[in-house]
Amino acid sequence: MAGIKKLFELRGNLASKEKAILTAIGAIILIGLWFLLAEFLSTSVITQDESIDISKIAQSERKYYESDSLLVANYDALEKMSLEELTSFGLKKNKVYPLLPSPVKVIKAFPDLHKNDDVVGNTFYSIKLNFLGYLVAILVSIPIGFLLGLIPLFRGLFSQIINSYRFIPLTAVTGIFIMWLGLGSDMKVSFLAFGIIVYLIPVVIQRIDEVQNVYLNTVFTLGATSWQTIRTVYMPYVFSKIIDDIRVLTAISWTYITIVEMLNKGGGIGELIWTAKRQSRIDKAFAILIIIVVIGILQDRLFVLIDKILFSFKHINKGNKH
């Protein structure tokens, strides 16, 4: 009874084993609801059975498939026929999922993606774009963020202007990047980097403002220079916080990648989603979304690992709680 009560405790903590068990149960529940909803939204259609030789069917029965118009005209009658009768006309019933694919259909779509769409190569191409975009964004955002956050002159000149860039709809500037850089990888990396920079620079400034005065007063008392203050106080604090902000932005970056990859046939996850849309293969689209989610989870775990290695002091108190 105490264990069940613990599950409903406000802001209560769960052990690692409990988290794993509840996560597994939650996944099973969601997949079950997904399956039931997909089946509820599914429908049946009558199509020609390609395994049957039409020429061997009686002449009087061929009228049902001699033309699409005849088939449509007789569709209500066909709906009332049994499976045996449909087979006699060279027809069969198929279940389709026009709105939500069944989990089984999505799983079966993975081999097709691997065989016909080079999903592995396209996925690694998108990961490469993501990495390069982040690398450029970090190399640009951190120096500019420190400059604006620490020097009042530059903050007064440019801080509000750069903050306003966050309100630019990035989908609206894709045309500008295409005019500047064409449709190649350079444009995609630059577009992705820009989308991250407009959010990351204000975050760096915010983290600088969060540095507590007690640390600044301490180094001032010790006679530290401005550079020593930046190196021993500002940089460790900002870097230890900014890695969490970058983790959050990784989810947004995949949105930008899919947008920019839909613009041309240069490969990547976005192109695969566009291809699945044109093929009316909603099962493929859902399979690609699952791949993106898995990559995002792995990226998140990688950032957590890097955070624990570089800033282990942040996780000491967390470990003591358990």
Q: What is the pLDDT of residues 23-43, one digit of tens each?
A: 899 999 999 999 999 989 888
Q: Given phi > 0 = left and psi -120 to 50 = alpha, else beta, which region is 13?
A: beta
R_g over Cα of the chain: 28
Amino acid sitting at position 128? K
In CATH, which of 3.40.50.20, 1.10.510.10, 3.40.50.300, 1.10.3720.10 is domain 107-321?
1.10.3720.10
9-16 long-range contacts, Cβ below 8 Å, gap at least 24?
13/321, 13/322, 15/322, 16/322
Q: What is the DSSP string of 265-312?
A: SS-SHHHHHHHHHHTT-HHHHHHHHHHHHHHHHHHHHHHHHHHHHH-G
- Residue 110 burial by Cβ neighbours in a 10 Å radius (0-12, 13-18, 19+): middle
What residue spans define the domains of the chain?
A: 2-40, 43-96, 107-321
Confidence of residue 49 (pLDDT cuts 50, 70, 90): low
Mean pLDDT along residues 226-238: 91
Residue 73 is predicted with a pLDDT of 41
Better pLDDT: 11 or 107: 107
Residue 234 pLDDT: 93
List phi, psi (to 5°) of 45.
-125, 150
- DSSP per-residue string spanning 91-122: EEEEEE-SSS--HHHHHHHHHHHHHHS-HHHH
Q: Report d(CA 226, CA 214) in Å as an integer.
A: 16
Residue 70 above 50 pLDDT? no
* pTM for this model (two decimals): 0.78
> What is the reported pLDDT for 77?
55
79-134 tens-digit pLDDT: 556 666 656 555 666 777 888 899 999 999 999 999 988 999 999 999 998 899 98
